[in-house]
Structure 1
Amino acid sequence: MKTRLMLASLAAATAMAFTLPCFAADSAQDFVDKAAAGGMFEVDSSRIAEGKAQDPGVKDFAHKMIEDHGAANAKLATIAGEQKLKVPTQLDAKHKGDLDALQNGKDPFDGSYIQMQRDAHSDAVTLFESYARDGDNAELKTFAQETVPALKTHKDMIEKIAAALDTKTSSSETPKVTVGDTPDATPPLSGANSFTEDQAKGRIQDAGFSDVSKLTKDDQGIWRGQANKDGKSTTVALDYKGNVVAGTK
């Protein structure tokens, strides 16, 4: 009986471990590494946006990111130093790739920057909330707790900017796609697509699809795959503007 209980407990613990978000931190040093990399990316990408963004709202957001994340980065570095933890001074490979795509990509800049900010702030909220709840270093845990509200505010801001730009784009360029209904004739649109496979999958899931699989990017820059919607299997596509279209070929 005791053996069965121990095995059951072990199985439950293992299941919980596998359900933890991939952006959670395993230790104080891991948190510092991930938080510092994310913070540096926010500042560096937003400096690019200050010079290249077309929409005034995007420029204003970028300026605020430089100020807010610059201050948070400095505070993190101070606390990490006091705790004898190393602070990375360079971006990791993923963030370097994103920064290069932002700087040199051929896609409309504002849309690429906005999507990267949406993804980055979603990851940051997950990381900071997780460490604020379960962190193993008291000083860093307090820092995480104090920073979460600002990150959520940033996330709300970029979502509103994205929605506003979607409205402008829909009225001036292409009809807006209603996911799950018969799409307008134009989307999915051909164009250089900066979404990674993981980002494409997340975007499709956010649109209400599940079991997204077999994603491949075709020669038109459109991610295509299979997914479930309302209990039915369907083909699905994501174009470079972020339009999600079901029932495509």
Structure 2
Amino acid sequence: MDHQHLESLRKSEIELVKPWFQSGLRVLEVGGGNGFQASVLASWGCHVTSIDLPETSAAATYYPVESYDGQRFPFPDHAFDVVFSSNVLEHVPHLPVILKEIARVIKSDGMAVCILPSSAWRFWTSLTHYVHLARRVGSRFFPHDAVGRGSSSQGTSAKRNWGVLLKRVFFDGPHGAYPNEFYELYAFSRSRWLNVFAAHGFVITSCFRNGLFYTGYAIFPRLSMSQRRHLSRFLGSATWVYVMRPALQRFPS
């Protein structure tokens, strides 16, 4: 999916959570990527700090993204009004650690807003994988250097590369930190995430679909947002939005 297409989707998606990002709030974005969504939050008047892994934060172009070790947030307790993440938590292999950190840095009356892919997104991404492959058949999908040429020392590497390519022909592969794309049909479900958040001490205050249809491949990039909203009624929304607070929060009397 090209950056321009993805950013247009993310812009429409983040507008849904604007009510939780009032001007003047201190916001921590976890998994800032190129800083695009942090720049949107900052344009609303929020004081945004964005963090990501070193290899990702170095590519930030829209907004400064600080590096962290992927586990411990480099901030004191109760430092932020809102912690935000978009399509990030599904990639985290040590999820309990990150959820504990999110709860730690939220202020006593703060919130966490997390956007996560849905089972519908997983299903349609798996199906459109084959459309994507059909579009890439030829030199772009099977580059000449992938099969090796010349000396026999390249033969083993070539066979391995062909094996990987053939596997990708038949299976899309997991999107996040899960065994395979089939397991992700369950892992991305609303019920599973509600259970995960509850098990780690969060209370859900709002949960809703983003109302947009899209897949992991830019198969229909020219669809308008209104068309995507219409399709989501029949084909499912691409993401769920979870708004929550730590269960042990103490609100001022």
Place the TM-score, normalised by the shorter chain, in its bin. under 0.3
The structure whose residues are more often strand, as a share, is: 2
TM-score with structure 1 setting the length: 0.27
TM-score with structure 2 setting the length: 0.26
Structure ranking higher on relative contact order (CA contacts 8 Å, 6+ apart): 2
The structure whose residues are more often helix, as a share, is: 1
